[in-house]
Amino acid sequence: MTKLATTLGYEDDAKLLIISCANLGQAHGANIAVFEAVRTGLASTSTLMIPCPWSRDAASRYRGEDVGVQLTLNAELERYRWGPVTMSPSLLDGDGGFPRTSTDLWDHADLDEVRRECRSQIERAILWGFDVTHLDSHLGSMQRRPEFFDVYMDLACEFSLPVMLPPESEEQAMGFPARKLAADDGILTPDHVVEARGRPTRAVIEHAVFNLAPGVTVLSVSPAIDAPEIRGLDPHWSGRAEDYLVMTHDPGIKDLLERSDAKIIGFAELRNAQRKVGSDCAED
C-alpha cells in the first residue's frame, strides 16, 4: 500500500499503471511511433528531448497529449549528434555534441551551465505550446549523481512538476535517498519503474502486469517505426521497432491490460495532485 495512490484519489491498494514512451523528438520515426502509441495505442504519456533535431517536428504534431520533458545532457549515439540549446561549453565533448556517457558529463559539466540548459529546455517546451506534465532525465544523468539531482529537484520545485526516478533498487548504488529527498520537497514520483530496454517488450509487459504492485508503476518503452532512419542512427533499432508494434498493433497485450486490475493513468494526474497539495520546496 502506498500513500501516492490515495493522494491521487484512489484506494490505497489500487494498482495504477503509466505506460511511457521515451525519446519523442529524437527522430522522425520516433515522433510517428510515439504519437500513434499515445493517441491510439496503449501508451499514456511520453517524454520530449528538446535538443534533438526532430523536437520542433514533435511540437508541430502535438495535440494536447500527456508530455513531459526528458532533460537531455547526453548524446550517446555514435552516428547521430545533438547538443545544448544554450551557450554551454562545458556540456560539449570534442565531437561538437553532448557527452556520450553520464560519467563524461559528470566529470566536466559546470553546474551553473547544467541548470541554465535544463531550465531552457523546459521553458522552450512551454513556449512551443506543450502543457508539460513531468520531468525525466535522458540516461538518468540528472538523477544518479547528488549534485545533478539537486538541480533536478530545484527545477521540479520551480515548475511544480513531478519527476521520474530510477528504480528504488538502485538507490544504494547511487549513494543517496533520492525518493525521500523528493518526498521531503513535496515532489511526487511513481512508486515503481519497469524498463523494457534490452529485453523482449511483450514479455516485459506481461510480467509487469501479472506482478503489478499497489501504487503507481511506470512502464517505459522507446518506440520507433522500422525505417532506414532508425536503422541508421540507433544500433538498438530492432528493440524500438518491437516497442512500437507492441504498443500499437498487439491485440493480445491490449486485451491483457483490459482484463487486468490495472488502471492506466498519465503523469498529468500526478502533476495536478502535486499542485493541489502544494510543495515543501525550500526557498533558495
Spatial distance between the Cα atoms of 69 and 125, rounded to a whole number of angstroms: 7
**Measured torsion, CA atoms of residues 148, 149, 155, 161, in degrees rounded to the nearest 10:** 150
267's enclosing H/E stretch is helix 267-277
pLDDT in tens, 194-231: 988 778 999 999 999 999 999 999 999 999 999 999 99
Beta bridge mates, 47:
68
pLDDT at 102: 97
Confidence at residue 1, expressed as pLDDT on a 0 to 100 scale: 40
As given in the structure block, the three cell numbers for residue 60 are: 508541430
CATH 3.20.20.370 fits 3-277, yes or no: yes
pLDDT band at 282 (very low <50, low <70, confident <90, very high): low
C-alpha cell recorded at residue 180: 525521500
State mean pLDDT over 129-144.
97
Share of the chain above pLDDT 70, in %: 98
Of 10, 46, 43, 27, which is closest to residue 133 (Cα–Cα)?
Answer: 46
Average pLDDT, the chain: 95
Confidence (pLDDT) at 2: 59
DSSP string, 84-112: -SS--GGG--TTSSS-SSHHHHHHH--HH
pLDDT (0 to 100) of residue 108: 96
DSSP code of residue 283: P
Q: Name the phi and psi angles at 20, rounded to 5.
A: -110, 135
Query: So what's the pLDDT on residue 33?
Result: 98
- What is the band of 156 on the pLDDT scale with cuts at 50, 70, 90? very high
**pLDDT range class, residue 284, cuts 50, 70, 90:** very low
Tell me: the pLDDT tens digits for 65-121? 999 999 999 999 999 999 999 999 999 998 889 999 999 999 999 999 999 999 999
φ and ψ at 36, to 5 degrees?
A: -65, -40
Q: What is the pTM of this model?
A: 0.95
Q: Does the pLDDT at position 270 exceed 80?
A: yes
Nearest Cα to Cα of residue 261 among 7, 3, 10: 10
Confidence of residue 155 (pLDDT cuts 50, 70, 90): very high
pLDDT bin (cut points 50, 70, 90) of residue 28 is very high
C-alpha cell at 50: 528538446
**167-201 residue pLDDT tens:** 888 888 899 999 999 999 999 999 999 988 778 99
pLDDT of 40 above 90: yes
